[in-house]
Amino acid sequence: MSGAMQHGDTILALTNYVFPNDVYVHWSLMIVLYPYITGIVAGAFIVSSLYHVFGIRELQPISRFSLVFALAFLCCATWPLLLHLGHPERALNMFLTPNPTSAMAGFGYIYSAYLILLVHEILFIYRPTMVGLWMNSTGIPRKLYAFLSFYNDNLSDEAMKLDHKIINFLAGLGIPMACILHGYVGFIFGGIKANPLWATPLMPVIFLLSACVSGISGIIFSYILIRKVTGKPIDVTCIRTSLKFLWGFFILDFVFEMLEVFSHFYMSTHHWHVLESLLWGPLYTTYWLLQVKIFSLIPFFLLGAVCLIKFKDRVVLFVAPIVSLMILIQVLLMRWNVVIGGQLMSNSTRGQVSFVPEWLGREGILAAVVVMAAPVVILFLLGKIFPFWMSEEPKDS
Amino acid sequence: MHNQSRSKYNSHLIKLIVALIVAGGLGYFARQVFMPASMGTYGHYRGDDIVDQLNVPIRLQTNESCFQCHRPIRQIHKEGIHNSVSCEICHGPFGDHIQDGKKVGVLPVKKGKEITQLCLRCHNKVIQARPRKSIKMIGLPEHLEQKGVRVDHTCDQCHMVHDPLLWINQAKRMMGIKEAI
């Protein structure tokens, strides 16, 4: 069977001259989700660090939730890669035969180190809660909570001081690690010098900023959603502060995204003509119309208004989830435009392909929906073990 | 309060450190057990992989493999201007057609407009990088207009696909036209 038959469903049309090895979009939907999920993890961790390290007291209500949220997404961060590559049984080979010069393998090491750090930070932050639950439960939950509190029920001042030191150390270490985690993902694209859309040292910076933006939006959206669904009050001061941080990060993110295109345009390097034909060609709708005009400019001004004008609480609570959801979509579109967009132009610089994802299959839309729904399910299950909110802790502890 | 706790204030940290050291030791032990035996024999890869790669079935062959059965085409193709073009460029991999000496599938044969698309993959003049001296580059529909044929003609209506100049040269000989093509 010819290659075109195998990939036929995903290829719509070729224009001009496309090198044979550029005809197929090999990095498809799963590679769009990979930086998206990783970014949400890094961003959510930074929200928690704003309270734990930088002392932004207003964010205290979501500080613990954002860590568990980060863990839920981190559990699924490798799924898209495993689905894309196939052979998940080979995933751990990179630890058996580590190759320090492999840029691709770098994710395995950075991810693992970050996972270990995040799990430990959560366990230390939750230790008083776990001890309380340990004392108040029976049967299997009792054993689980005892295990999660390291079989130590000592909550004396001395023990808490020690825990606090460890938490500070882990949270402090976690910030550069979260930045490296997502900066690395940007680097993996930015380092591909053969692709003029990707090859820019700005790529890690843009990825990192969009990670912060998606993480904060994810936290705001899920916090409001969970509190509304469970009928609990929402801390509006916390939401207002989060929106301020969201706006700040989004200004930087959006400006850098635009500056990158502007720099290419102004320098008019020999690659500009292919980027121009890409951005105003197959990417026009997803880039200019959706990513820039609808899902960047509208949230940009909405956030500016909410942060600068003193609106009533219910206006803030109405706008916040809408803006967060729009920014979550903006970041997903940005990942799509970078990952898929970069592959829609041929290295001939004279041809383009178009791409429509398949529905079924290992890298289809259905698989993508499952991968994106999995962190939500994991978050729900983690919520059964680690109470998200302080008010739910047993008074006894 | 938990002042009466029997655990020491730092016992959880000590347990954690011990657990991490044990996990590290187990990891080191697992590496010794699961490391492929031939790893590093020739470089940073599994030495046995060379044998595995040798055993990968070969999909692409030379034109001579095709000509063992397709003898009439052999004569035409070898004498034509396309004699250096591999059969597989237009028809696809040999391995999709023959495996272990047996026919396993039919390779696609382009028809109609598909033939024009196929020819333009190499002969389209918008491909700036092509060496113009060795490959005839054309644009459509100018080429068809210049030759005085209908613009919806496909390439194979004038050019024999296995020897593109065969019919053209025959026609020129019949008409007594002598100039180089």
Domain coordinates of chain A in residue numbers?
29-87+102-190+362-392, 217-355
Q: What is the pLDDT of residue A251?
A: 97
The alpha carbon of residue A170 is apart from the nearest alpha carbon of chain B, in Å, by 13
**Separation of alpha carbons B174 and A68, rounded Å:** 84
User: How is residue B66 written in tokens?
Assistant: 């095709």
Q: Name the residue among B5, B9, B44 with its Cβ closest to that of A162.
A: B9
- Give tens-digit pLDDT for A37-61: 999 999 999 999 999 999 999 999 9
Number of other CB atoms surrounding residue A47 within 10 Å: 28
Find the CB nearest B92 among A2, A152, A350: A2
Residue closest to A326 by CA, chosen among A167, A230, A168, A220: A220
**Is residue B121 domain-shared with residue B165, that is, in the same domain?**
yes
So what's the pLDDT on residue B95? 93
pLDDT at A7 (0 to 100): 37
Q: Does B21 touch chain A (CB under 8 A)?
A: no
> Quick check: helix, strand or coil at residue A136?
coil
Q: Of the candidates A78, A86, A72, which has an alpha carbon nearest to the alpha carbon of residue A105?
A: A78
Highest mean pLDDT among A147-161, A289-303, B29-43: A289-303
For B14, which residue in chain A has the nearest alpha carbon? A150
Instruction: Return the closest-CA partner of residue A374 out of A73, A31, A40, A114.
Output: A73
Res A14: pLDDT: 57
For the segment B63-98, what is each residue's pLDDT rounded down to a tens digit? 999 999 999 999 999 999 999 999 999 999 999 999
Nearest Cα of chain A lies from the Cα of B36 at a distance, in angstroms, of 9
Q: Does the residue B50 lie in any domain?
A: yes
The helix-helix angle for A313-339 and A29-52 (nearest 10°) equals 140
User: What number is the average pLDDT over the span B13-38?
Assistant: 94
Element (H, E) at A129: helix A127-135
Would B155 be classed as within a structural domain?
yes
Bridge partner residues of A352 (DSSP):
A15, A345
Instruction: Return all residues near A150 (Cβ < 8 A) that are at least 6 apart.
Output: A123, A127, B11, B12, B13, B15, B16
Rg (CA), chain A: 22
- Please identify which residue in the block is written with the tokens 């770098």: A106
Q: Looking up tokens 């979009």, which residue turns up?
A: A25
Residues B34, B61 share a domain: no
**Reported confidence tier of residue B47, pLDDT bands at 50, 70, 90:** very high
pTM here? 0.83
- The percentage of chain A sitting over the pLDDT mark of 70, rounded to a whole number, equals 94
Inter-chain touch A154–B27, beta carbons under 8 Å: no
Chain B hits for A2, CB-CB cut-off 8 Å, are: 92, 96, 108
Question: For residue A3, what pLDDT band results from cuts at 50, 70 and 90?
Answer: very low
Residue at a domain's end among B89, B109, B129: B109
The values of phi and psi at residue A281, to 5°, are -110, -110
Is residue A25 within 8 A of residue A353, CB to CB? The reply is yes
Task: Determine whether B92 is exposed, middle or buried from the number of CB atoms within 10 Å of its CB (0-12, 13-18, 19+).
Answer: buried
Q: Is the pLDDT confidence value at A395 over 70? A: no
Answer for the pair B11, A163: CB distance below 8 angstroms, yes or no: no
Across the interface, whether the CB atoms of B7 and A151 are under 8 A apart is answered yes
Per the CB < 8 A criterion, the answer to whether A288 and A279 are in contact is yes
> Are residues B162 and B126 part of one domain?
yes
Domain for residue B181, yes or no? Answer: no
How many residue pairs bridge chain A and chain B with CB atoms within 8 Å of each other?
Answer: 70
Each residue's pLDDT tens digit, A74-90: 999 999 999 999 999 98
At A24 the pLDDT is 87
Q: What is the pLDDT of residues B107-141, one digit of tens each?
A: 988 888 889 988 988 888 877 666 777 888 888 88
As for how many domains chain B has, the answer is 3
Residue ranges making up the domain that contains B75: 57-109
Task: Please indicate whether, in this complex, the C-beta atoms of B127 and A150 are within 8 angstroms of each other.
Answer: no
Q: In this predicted structure, what is the pLDDT of residue B1?
A: 46
B145 found inside a domain: yes
Structural domain includes residue B4: no
Confirm or reject contact between B27 and chain A (CB < 8 A).
yes
Task: Kindly report the average pLDDT of chain A as a whole number.
Answer: 91
Instruction: Among A252-261, B2-11, B48-57, B70-79, name the one with the lowest average pLDDT.
Output: B2-11
Cβ–Cβ below 8 Å for A151 and B108: no
